[in-house]
Structure 1
Amino acid sequence: MSSPGSFDKFRVDDIVCEEARDLAKHYECSVCLNLVEDPLQTACCSSIFCTSCIEHPSVRSCPTCRVPFGRGTEATATRGSPLKKSNIHALRMINKINVYCPWSMRHRQTASSGGSSSLSSTVVSTNGSSSSTSASSSPEDEEWCQWKGEYGDLMGKHLANCQFAKVTCECGLAIRRKDRNAHKLICPSLLVACKICGLKVKPADLAVHDAAAAVQHVAILQKQMMERGLLAARRDQVSSQLSGVDLKLDAHRAAANSDANRKHEDLKGTVSSSAANHYEFAVESRNTIVGLLVLAILLQMLILAKLGKDEATTATTTTESITCAPPAAVKREWCWCSSF
């Protein structure tokens, strides 16, 4: 739902409080005759207008002093600049003007007194029916907004959230914002899907549809229950199969653990036997080495003993030779030795 586009400008007599009307008249746009909205100040005579009014293609000169605006970029420059840039003081004065909500009782009283109104008087009730009420309708016929505040807050915040403001539904009716939920129940453009068969009908016709399609709905529900039963049986079957798979896995796991334990014990026995064999071999090797060392020592002792015996025999033979030799030979040998 969107807000109607004609509700963005308001006449001074429609919304401005009595004590602020004299000030508000100074900020009345001379083009649309409404209180300025998104104000712009001209460069030629410093007059203030609505931006949408002064920038309209049909406005080619200042409405106040009649100075031509020119064309293209020149026209933009001569028209002026937004009031928030050119005259912030004037903008603050405009924003602080005390006003009523356009959807307040004050507006209805102004309209009923014969004053012109900038708002449509079409009213859509909560049941969705629209009626065009005259300005002389009794204010008690409808509820109206009680908001009162500054013009800046009205344009910047309140209008977008006012529950009494009219918004346009997708069906084309203008209804109050607070009546949207009630209108959705009977809106011809809003369809809801039947929870059983899925057919889209108007909310108001949903009960009629349930009664008319009762047999069809029963058949659909029976089919759904049957499908749910089949699904439950299939689920139980799958659950049973999974349980059997779990049992097989447990059996395979136990067998694998038993086989692993047996192989571990066999490996342990093999390692122990190999270690014992290595130990016996080491002991035998040690004994052999010790025997060889003893044998080597004995052999060395025999060799030394043999050498000692030979030396003793040699010494005895030499002594005997010297003793038995003739003196002349000894003397001659001595003389021969002395000749050196």
Structure 2
Amino acid sequence: MPISTPLLAAIRQPAFIYGTDGRIAEANDLAEALAGRPLAGRSIAAVVGIFDVHALSGGTPMLAAGMPVSRALCGEEAVDVPIVVTAADGRRVHALATASPIRNGGTITGALAIWQDISALETARTNAETAAEELMVQEEELRQQGDELVRANIENDRQRRLLDAILDRIPYRVDLWSADGRYLWMSEATAASLGRRRKTLIGRTWQELGMEPAAMARLMAEIWAVAATGEPCAGETEDPDGNGIRWRAYAIVPFPNADGSATGALAVSHDITERKERELELARSNEDLRRSNEELQRFAYVASH
């Protein structure tokens, strides 16, 4: 064989040399340790059985004809084929199988197969995916807990301080309005958008703060309706600022007294300007396309009459 036993032993991954009859001529110590037995003379089908070889993708059992070494004996280079094998001690080992034909001149005289153990990498990948899934679950649990705190902890001053600590850490505007249009509470995000310190804004009306009349008139009409009916509402609104128009999505829910009657409303909003701009751009593109189609239809009509 062109590959010597010392060279095969120097390969520090399970390695096999097959003859043209599809049987192992030599296997290094790592291959035989993995199998827990001598491997010389074993056929490809026997190797599949000894190691219970499966494809890594989908976990389907490998057939002898699909093994990388079978392809190599047909003259093909099979590189980094992902497989799963079972070691003699029962461990499942993830590997990348590579097999190359051994040639003497133009004649194939055998094949070299090497299984690169990637179990540690596969375990790390699986652990990372599991950790990401657990983090998503934890984030969802935290979000739900935050929602529960918002609903349950707004009844008194102690609960309001708790809300300050929680809501000031989210990038949403959270505002508590009285039915007559006064700020009873606001998040730091709202205060920052108004360019003022929060404590200078609480208790003041939107008119006193010089907020945009048209937008605020629409918002206050919905706040009054929510306070009067106890029914929540949601929508989108334009919010002028120093840089132009910003779009915001909002939800408004009633703020109850101890007896359950609503004296104000809690409004939560967030910036959706980028989404609205994409929607408007799409609408403009659709309108341009509609007009273009109409012009084409008129042209076609004129051309045919």
Classify the TM-score, shorter chain. under 0.3
Larger strand proportion of the pair: 2
Larger helix proportion of the pair: 1
TM-score normalised by the chain length of structure 1: 0.22
TM-score normalised by the chain length of structure 2: 0.24
Greater Rg, structure 1 or structure 2?
Answer: 1
